[in-house]
Amino acid sequence: MRQVIIVPEEEGGYSVSVPSLPGCFSQGETIEEAITNIREAIELYIESMIEHGETVPDDVEVQVIRI
């Protein structure tokens, strides 16, 4: 299981990133669509890492602080 960050965009929809997989991003018009899309992006990202002989990182601990 990976932690993701979902951010509502001013122009509509949501962007999603994965802190433990730098560069793994996606988006969707709804939260549900954004989650579906990031699941696919995570799978493809990890498949690519394995194909290239890279080590797949464990998930990272994320602390949320609102300022």
* Residue 63 burial (10 A CB sphere; 0-12, 13-18, 19+): exposed
Say if residue 67's pLDDT is above 80. Answer: no
Bigger pLDDT: 61 or 35?
35
Say if residue 14's pLDDT is above 80. Answer: yes
- Tell me the pairing of strands 14-17 and 25-28: antiparallel
Say if residue 31's pLDDT is above 90. Answer: yes
**pLDDT score recorded for residue 61:** 74
**pLDDT band at 66, cuts 50/70/90?**
confident
Q: Please report, for the chain, the start and end positions of each structural domain, with discontinuous segments joined by +.
A: 5-51
**pLDDT score recorded for residue 2:** 87
